[in-house]
Amino acid sequence: MRKLASKTVGLAAALGFVLAPALARADEFVNVLTGGTSGVYYPIGVGISKILTDKMPGARPSVQATKASVENLNLIQSGKGEIGFVLGDAVQAAIAGDTEMGFKGKLDKIRTIAAIYPNYVQIVASADSGIKSLADLKGKRLSVGAPKSGTELNARAILNAAGLQYSDLGKVEYLDFGQSVELIKNRQLDATLQSAGLGVASIRDLANSVPITVVEVPASVIQKVGAPFVSATIPAKTYQGQDADVQTAAIINYLVTRSDLSEDTVYQMTKAIFDNLNDLYAAHAAAKVIKIETGAKNPIAPLHPGAAKYFKEKGAL
């Protein structure tokens, strides 16, 4: 009887060792931190969530709408997210601990999963406002994005390089993309600055509702801002009524995670996303430029070892 009991305990222990990884994997919660629901982060985040559900065994993903880059970085640092969408300049500010940009100190747990797609600084005014250049924003009513969001950081940088301060504007609103558009439709705002992928739903909605002007960000302004901003073009016909190419600034978005997340978990997340890019492309047109070949290029925060393992396997490190 004692021998039988001993064998039973031994078998149970052995099964425990076998089942432990499976049980741990079954509790793999992955919170995807995005942005406002009318932006680009959110639909791509939903796309990532669906991929993880289908392709990462045991993953239990969720999607959280946030105020975007700065909030996402602070949430990642505090362990309240596993994947965060962020802009490159916000990552720089986080690593430096820039208090003016919304960080209480240096964020030392931020790690890169991958570079994804560029955000375009899209300054769009109602045609009735008469705004045709950055200089014309003086005295006008402008929404610069949610407070301390990546969009708002971009707004500060671009306006400063153009010789404008918030105090030069007639009114500054700190609103998400959807709210900004509604106020322009109601003639309560003149323009909105939105840092997002091309074809963002909010600007499409605005352009389909009222005549618009897409305002140029000249190369001279971009040069003053410097890295990580680069010159880019919003192609003609991106939005209703936009008949010509418009020069503007662009900046790369990243997916980030935290340093204390296991190498295996981050490897599995990275593999699921990049092995199924066609599914991600279906989530939003902006995602179509995401490539394995550029995922590991120029990380601002160090690559997480799990992501590095995946890109090394693909010959893309």
pLDDT in tens, 76-105: 999 999 999 999 999 999 999 999 889 999
Q: Taking Cα atoms as reference points, which of 92, 206, 194 lies closest to residue 152? A: 194
CATH number at residue 153: 3.40.190.10
Do the beta carbons of residue 98 and residue 89 sit within 8 Å?
A: no
Q: How far apart are CA 214 and CA 165, in angstroms?
A: 20
Q: How far is CA 209 from CA 151, 181, 188, 193, in A?
A: 23, 10, 15, 17
**CA angle (188 as vertex; 185, 191 as ends), nearest 5:** 70
Residue 9 domain-assigned?
no
pTM here is 0.81
Residue 6 domain-assigned?
no
Give me the domain span that covers residue 300: 28-116+254-313
Residues 108 and 132 in one domain: no
pLDDT of residue 150: 84
Q: Could you count the other beta carbons within 10 Å of the beta carbon of residue 29?
A: 9
pLDDT of residue 26: 55
Asked whether the predicted pLDDT for residue 25 surpasses 90, the reply is: no
Instruction: Dig out the tokens for 157 from the structure.
Output: 């940088």
Q: How far is CA 260 from CA 82, 85, 86, 105, 254, in A?
A: 10, 18, 19, 18, 18
Residue 235 domain-assigned?
yes
Residues 238 and 259 in one domain: no
Number of domains in the chain: 2
Q: How far apart are CA 310 and CA 270, in angstroms?
A: 7
Residues 50 and 153 in one domain: no
Instruction: Dig out the tokens for 233 from the structure.
Output: 């073009």
pLDDT of residue 315: 97
Length of the chain, please?
Answer: 317
Residue 16 domain-assigned?
no
Residue 13 domain-assigned?
no
